[in-house]
Amino acid sequence: MLRFMKPKILGYCLAAAFSLALPGCITHDETIVRDVERTKVEFENDRAARVFYEALADRKTGRTQESTTKVEIPVVFETKQRVVSGPNAAFNEAVSICDSNKDGRITEMEAKIFAENSAKR
């Protein structure tokens, strides 16, 4: 009788260990914000700066770039990594659109055109 009990106990132990390992899983979810250096820009006057920043604030914020990497081994392991662009990327894009002659200086006229075009979007 004792000889038959050992395999049963071993079987129960293996079944318990197996069932404890299956229901749980390891998950890892991470968001990384990658920001770039802000483009240096100067403004013709205070009004040009105010018009530009107001238009920038009014632009839709859903323009961030996002990349997602997901690795999954069913039931056991899952990892997810999202990389999103930071606020400086949106600023740099706005400066490149607004500064039409690319001289590093935003004039009042360029700011007004940028604001009008941003309102249309």
- Over residues 41-55, the pLDDT tens digits come to 999 999 999 999 999
Cβ contact 95:41 at 8 Å = yes
Q: With CA atoms as reference, report the closest residue to 32 among 75, 76, 84, 88.
A: 84
pLDDT (tens digit per residue) in 59-77: 865 455 667 777 777 667 7
pLDDT (tens digit per residue) in 72-96: 776 677 888 888 888 888 899 999 9
pLDDT reading at 2 higher than 50: no
Cβ contact 66:93 at 8 Å = no
Cβ contact 39:95 at 8 Å = yes
Q: Say how many residues make up the chain.
A: 121
